[in-house]
Structure 1
Amino acid sequence: MTESSELSDPLDRLHRGLVHHIVNSLGWPGLRPLQQEAIAPLMDGSDAILLAPTAGGKTEAACFPVLSRMAEENWTGTSVLYVCPLKALLNNLLPRLETYTSWLGRTAALWHGDVPQTRRKRILRERPDVLLTTPESLEAMLVSANVDHRAFFSGLRTIVVDEVHAFAGDDRGWHLLAVLERLERVAGRPVQRVGLSATVGNPQELLTWLQGSGAGKRTARVVAPHLREQAPALPPPGDIELDYVGSLANAATVIAALHRGEKRLVFCESRGYVEKLGEALRAKGVTTFLSHASLSVDERRRAEEAFAEARDCVIVSTSTLELGIDVGDLDRVIQIDAPATVASFLQRLGRTGRRPGSQRNCLFLAVDEAGLLSAAALLLLWSRGWVEPVVAPPEPRHIAAQQILALCLQEHRVGERLWREWWHGLGPFGASAEPIVRHLIDEGYLDLDGGLMFIGPEAERRFGFRHFMDLTAVFTAAPEFTVLSGRTQIGTTDPALLTDEVVGPRRLLLAGRSWQVTYIDWSRRRCFVEPVDGGGRARWGGAGLLRAASYELMRAAREVLLGATPPVTLTRRAEGALAQSREGSAEVVHPGGTVIVRGGRDTNVRWWTWAGYRANATLAATLTSVADPFQRPTDAYVRLREDITPQEWKKAVAEGAEHLCLPAVDPRALAGLKFSATLPQRLAEATLASRLADLEGAAASLREPSRFTTRQSPPS
């Protein structure tokens, strides 16, 4: 293998049958740089992260070498798992994987919650070589009485994790890592791990995270040829424009008037905005489709298929279409206000410019002053080539509790001293989880007999519904009502829309159309509707919640207010609105440090840190002697005591810099942390507190000089 790895053409290492079809069936003149560079490490069995912009050929870069190994080493049974964060993405990928496997006489199949039971039974009888699935479905297979997991996964050799950055940034990533460790133990061998990712700020750390307990023990490589290319003066060239339109209604007017005859994908940051914008566009005669998580699977699929086949049309979406789901050849991406991260913007920008001769483009339409500032700040960071590092949430104690319960369900009985071996020493699931195991036993989630642990009555009571299916997912969905027109499911809605007092008929806005409620089945959480001409309302829990901005994004916003302008096209409206924002914020930003402002419209004293919500929550918890105890920190400022003096401030800052504190946690907030009930309350609160904190951002803010100033009250 060493000799073959030195061949001049990487294609020579791939299976001959595969190369034949790459050239003749796909008609490719050659492989892309990422696909070429991935061949050697993947065929040598190394773990890897394959990094490329959207539509960079990552799936083929992983699958061609892995399938070649499968053929050459004669792997049997289900030897490759292809894991995705979204079922829709798996559905989209299946035809490609079926084609590639068939070239070598192999098979691929799909397994997730929407796959019919008959098809699953066939998969168990006739094991495919490649299984496309989600982490939750893998967990369900491991704990299911209907799946012989040891036989099914006995041939496992490689796991490909698509959109790995989407996992790593939240608790689904910890859940995925823990399940992968259990799969390795079931398979009885180390399993190669290959992650596919868009551009991230810390690819080496992401690879180390993906390796789990194998980090430092197995060879690993980041494959990212595009990062070695000479960067232009700006990040990828394209038509990036920032406009200020002032309202969602005005955004609909602009979208309806611009780019007629083209296919446009519009991203919104809430489901409510998607619905309202979709309705407004349809009222202007624009062919419009919608996609968001509260629409039914069939409704989303119909919209995405119709959009892919149409030409002069718009699809309005939340982040559900940010990942690699194929909706055809796009002409334009339009962004309402701004996404939360530069990484999200890069994903969305990458949906365009795929046609030869076209370039990537994005039009930002800010509907208010805050949206304009966020967009300008994000574009400033993007223009400097900065991308957020992907960081796993700290202290996943609730996931450790879930995994211990799931393991006992999987194995029926587990030794009270041997459970740690299933995770091979992986940090959160090792010695630090001992107090969690004791608590699970003490509270009856687990029973203990003769040194063996097994599922107890409290776990049965809390999670036993539908064969413990609630134990396989790490997030709890909001308790929404299903909306049906006849027998057709339209989607789901917030129950508040069904209980709020209304004058006249109760109407909902869903799938871009208004519906009148005709009957509510409270016991089964269903409501029946019929179409009407207008007047519907859209609402979901969380749509209006504060979206916490990062330290880096808020610092960029401060730079914008101090005069920095992103090097993109700004319309006259955007320039005028930005100038107005700078004038209105002149007293709360200063190039020499932070500003403490008294006076203005109220008697509050505000410390304008521009440090982001998490850093400000940390500062409020740390500076208890001078901070207002009744405040709710924001992205931009912390409220201080009205009678604070400069001397008290100086002393509090000196003490705070030595001893930063985690934010206090409202016990009611623990309801949002699934499985928090399986932890001692102090550990559950410590978990949440660590996730609300930004110690680095808080420390940086305390190191900056600060000045007191008095704001002039506006004329009455």
Structure 2
Amino acid sequence: MSASQAFLQLDPRIQHYLWAEGWGALREVQERAIPLILPGDRDVIVAASTASGKTEAAFLPALTHLLQQPDDGLIIYISPLKALINDQFGRLDRLCENLEVLVWPWHGDITATSKRKFVQKPRGVLLITPESLEATLCNRGTSIAGLFKNTTFFVIDELHAFIGTERGKQLQSLLHRIETALGRNVPRIGLSATLGDMSLAAHFLRPDLPVAMVDVPSTGGQLLILVKGFEEPPAEGGKRRKNDPETERAPPAIAEHMFKVLRGSNNLIFPNSRREVERYTHLLNTLCEQTQAPKEFWPHHGSLSKEIRYETEAALKQRERPATAVCTSTLELGIDIGAVKSVAQIGTPPSVASLRQRLGRSGRREGEPAILRGYVIEDALDEKADLATRLRLDTVQTAAAISLLLEHWFEPPAVHGAHYSTLVQQLLSAIAQYGGLQAGQAFLLLCAQSAPFEGVSKDSFAELLRTLGQDEILTQDHSGLLLHGRIGDKIVNHYSFYAAFASDEEFRIVSSGKALGTLPVSQMVSPGQRILFGGRTWLIEEIDEPHKTIHVAPAKGGAPPLFDGGGGRVHTRVRQRMREIYLQTGALGYLDSEAQRFLDEGRTAFQDLDLQHRTLLDQGSQAILLTWLGDSANEAIACLLMSRGVGASAGRLGVEIQRTGRGLHEIEDLLTDVGSEAAPSVDELLAKANNLARQKWDGLLSPKLLRETYASSNIDLNEAMTWLRTTLEYTTTQQRPPSSGLTDQPL
């Protein structure tokens, strides 16, 4: 490494450590990042594939800079997951021990004694979650400036996981509040493997200043992809089998295939919900029992106890026995579980970015390919098959995601959104931090130029304060100082306050005094019922409602608990690629014969229905507007129709419109009228919409602010209006019946 200028810039003790660890050379991402980070005078984003050395690219220069400071410096590493903090502690502790730099993990599982020691002498490397950082600002108030006075860097890991979310807006606010207390900017380093638009990511990291960027593309190693198709035949009497655990045939068949091809190696299996994690873990381990093979399949999702999750992570890390995790996105992020041979995706991937992140876990050993196995399930075609079944939507959407993945495209970060829910939380938190704030001070701190909520106007902020005052969330003393009201005080003093995101109230599942995890209360169960949890079957013996505890005992048989699913919002580019695939004729090399048959059947239906030229389809009591747009634009069109008294909702094929006696031509004329007029205001658009509360504190907002925050995150009115003005204008001027293909007869 003597020829490396970046290596020579590192502290000699770090150089010695790297030599002792057998490093032959720095990786490209480290060579490029070290000179940018080392001076400690700018913000930097480091984007590179999984296992490319991003963590070292940040910490080697950050630690070198820290060691050059006359006072004891502090690096604050912020992670979205406690498990990532535990991993980074293991990676950094040995290096930092040689440097005599202390490493402090800080989250809900860390003892109060360890936290007190850090507070007494805050130096070294602090590994913390946003929630714990929030609690620190709330509870330590005006001592924040002293606690963090020697901070040299903020390192934000898995940056993409924060962008566009309530938690991300919370993080922006926390960093801004700390910097305000310090009276200076602290350099921010963002780490990520999946960033669709670096400029948007830079805007998120620091909206008002330039951000240096290190973007190292994937080395382009060999990638092997196979998508297998499985068909659910109709049950007796014509009842559909899909999503019915008692009659489904495809999941056991998928489990048998995975059991055959994954045994003997480490892998990750991603179903699309916690329910499916439990189902497939149970099916796979049942096959282990039937063949008298050791257990190789382990569950991992957010409702399991940390002990069960750690057990899965430990099984993946050890090399004596093969292990495969059946998991949700909890193992999508950068938890160090070592290299896995392959990744399996059951069902449509939530997004292209998610698929890329998951696939990055495979092929990490030199010379080994990355392997992706996809599994799609379609219902059999018969006279009762609906339009989605005839078009084979799951197969085509999966193919579209893989097609875009191969072109190195993935969804850009969603940096927009009013995020009033998080503003409520940050306002309450800031009042706790300072012991009260004047309204003008609160606005300057949170909503002025360069503040995290700078898009919020003074009028909107004043309306928020009035609403919170009316509901006793806030109160004002005789001097005008904002304080917590009777209800607000209870909110802030509850342990759940520090999280910006909402979570269902859950019941603890306990067996013989040992906590197994939690089950959402919205999916209630009863004594005597058998459920799958943690990949095993349990008999519910007792439900203790006052203490929200379900007591279980080991049993055989059972059905997966009804966890909520977790599908992502679909981007317009994905839907447009689906349309392109329908219009193509050739085979896709990554589909097996059954999946290719599904695709051929979907293409045939697309051609038979002339969907290349048709915009509206008659589906009996409703019409389907085929837009090939993403969910945000489709929802905007549905809201435009609802504002005119027409029932409508966004769907997978476009917008589903209730006809209520209207002919298709009437609906088409209505849509053309909507497109020819000026776009309505948010209040007009959502005047008749209900159930808009999505985020944790949305219920505390006025109706006007609720409509505004919902629209900013869920509706793309510009894209919707552009589509209406162009597509429908072309359709009505170029093709009118009979050549338009529109019909009032059901398909």
Q: 1:116 aligns with which of 111, 129, 147?
A: 111
Distance 2:569 2:677 in 1: 26
Aligned partner of 2:409: which letter?
A: W
Deviation, structure 1 residue 497: 4.9
- 1:284-323 superposed matches below 5 A: 284-285=287-288, 287-309=296-318, 310-323=320-333
| Segment of structure 1 superposing worse, 511-520 or 144-153 | 144-153
- Between 1:562-571 and 1:114-123, the stretch displaced more is 562-571
Given that 1:337 and 1:367 are in contact with CA atoms closer than 8 Å, whether structure 2 keeps it comes out as yes
Q: Does 1:357 align with 2:367?
A: yes
Q: RMSD across aligned C-alpha pairs, in angstroms?
A: 2.6
2:77 maps to 1:74: no
Correspondence for 1:687 = 709
Partner of 1:232: none
The residue number in structure 2 matching 1:340 is: 350
The within-5 A match list for 1:28-177 is 28-44=23-39, 45-77=41-73, 79-145=74-140, 148-177=143-172
Cα distance between partner residues in 2 of 1:566 and 1:14: 52
Quick check: 151-160 or 435-444, which moved more?
Answer: 435-444
Counterpart residue type for residue 242 of structure 1: V
Go from structure 1 to structure 2 and tell me whether the alpha carbon gap of 1:62 and 1:619 turns closer, same or farther (over 3 Å shift).
Answer: same
Distance 1:291 1:314 in 2: 10
| Amino acid in the other structure paired with 1:119 | S
**1:587·1:711 contact (CA, 8 Å) conserved in 2?**
no
CA contact (8 A) 1:405 1:455 kept: yes
2 CA distance for matches of 1:49 and 1:657?
Answer: 43
**Percent same amino acid at aligned positions?**
28
Provide the C-alpha distance between the structure 2 equivalents of 1:389 and 1:515, rounded to a whole number of angstroms.
43
Partner letter of residue 177 of structure 1?
A: Q
**1:359-402: CA deviation from partner (whole Å, max 9, x where unpaired):** 11111111234432221110121222211100124111221121
State the partner residue of 1:282: 285
Indicate the residue corresponding to 1:326 in structure 2: 336
The alpha-carbon deviation at position 456 of structure 1 amounts to: 1.8
Instruction: Identify which of 453, 467, 490 aligns with 2:482.
Output: 453
CA distance in 2, matches of 1:316, 1:391: 28
Q: 1:695 to 1:416 in 2, by over 3 A?
A: closer
> Which stretch shifts more, 135-144 or 559-568?
559-568
Aligned partners of 1:153, 1:525: CA distance in 2, in Å?
A: 39
Map 1:144-543 onto structure 2 (within 5 A). 144-145=139-140, 148-212=143-207, 215-216=208-209, 219-226=210-217, 237-246=222-231, 247-285=250-288, 287-309=296-318, 310-368=320-378, 369-423=392-446, 425=449, 426=451, 428-429=453-454, 431-432=457-458, 433-449=461-477, 450-461=479-490, 463-464=491-492, 467-495=493-521, 497-499=523-525, 505-540=528-563, 542-543=564-565
Once residues 255 and 111 of structure 2 are traced to their aligned partners in structure 1, the CA distance between those partners, rounded to angstroms, is 40
Q: Deviations over 1:122-155 (max 9, x none)?
A: 2222434110001111010011159942321121
Q: How far, CA to CA, are the matches of 1:566 and 1:711 in structure 2? A: 34
Mapped partners of 1:546, 1:10: distance in 2: 43
CA distance in 1, matches of 2:457, 2:624: 44
Distance 1:590 1:226 in 2: 38
* Alpha-carbon distance change, 664 to 293 in structure 1, aligned in 2, over 3 angstroms: same
Separation of aligned partners in 1, 2:573 and 2:397: 11
> Which residue does the alignment assign to 2:387?
none
Q: Deviation digits for residues 294-346 of structure 1, max 9, x if unmatched?
A: 11111111121123225433210011100011222211111112321111111
Cα distance, 1:64 vs structure 2: 0.6
Letter in 1 for 2:184: R
Q: Deviations over 1:640-699 (max 9, x none)?
A: 435335476246325425434556378763553211233222211221133221224423
1:710 matched to which residue of 2? Answer: 743
Q: Encode CA deviations 1:73-94: one digit per residue, 9 max, x unaligned.
A: 23425x2100011111111111
TM-score by length of 2: 0.86
Measure the CA separation in 2 of the matches of 1:115 and 1:370: 46
TM-score, normalised on structure 1?
A: 0.90
Label 1:539 to 1:393 Cα distance change in 2 as closer, same or farther (>3 A). farther
Structure 1 residue 66 displacement after superposition: 0.7
Deviations 1:153-193 (A, max 9, x none): 12112100000110013111110000000011222321001
Count of equivalent residues? 684
Unaligned segments of structure 2, at least 5 residues: 232-249, 289-294, 379-391, 732-739
| C-alpha separation in 1, matches of 2:700 and 2:586 | 49
Distance 2:507 2:536 in 1: 17
Cα distance in 2 for partners of 1:70, 1:11 equals 16
Question: Does structure 1 residue 554 correspond to structure 2 residue 575?
Answer: yes
Residues 657 and 401 of structure 1, relative CA distance in 2, 3 Å threshold: farther
Q: Secondary structure at the match of 2:655?
A: strand
Q: Does 1:656 align with 2:675?
A: yes
Counterpart position of 1:701: 723
Q: Check conservation: 1:665, 1:689, Cα contact below 8 A.
A: no
- Counterpart of 1:255, as a letter, is M
Structure 1's 133 and 566: CA in aligned 2 closer, same or farther, altered over 3 A? farther
SS of 2:615's partner is: strand
1:93–1:72 CA distance, 2 compared to 1 (3 A): same
Q: Distance in 2 between matches of 1:679 and 1:647?
A: 38
Residue 155 of structure 1 contacts residue 187 of structure 1 at CA under 8 Å; is this kept in 2?
no
CA distance in 2, matches of 1:420, 1:666: 31
Query: Is this contact kept in 2: 1:619–1:660, CA < 8 A?
Result: no
Task: Determine if contact 1:171/1:392 at 8 Å carries over to the other structure.
Answer: no
Give the Cα separation in 1 of the matches to 2:667 and 2:377.
41
1:349/1:360 contact within 8 Å kept = yes
Contact 2:72 2:123 in 1 (8 A): no
Contact 1:607 1:639 in 2 (8 A): yes
Cα distance in 2, alignment partners of residues 645 and 509 from structure 1: 47
2:637 counterpart (611, 619, 628):
619
1:185 and 1:361, CA in 2 relative to 1: closer, same or farther beyond 3 A? same
Residue 534 of structure 1 and its aligned partner are, at CA, apart by 1.3
Is the 1:287–1:314 contact (alpha carbons within 8 Å) kept by the matching residues of 2?
yes
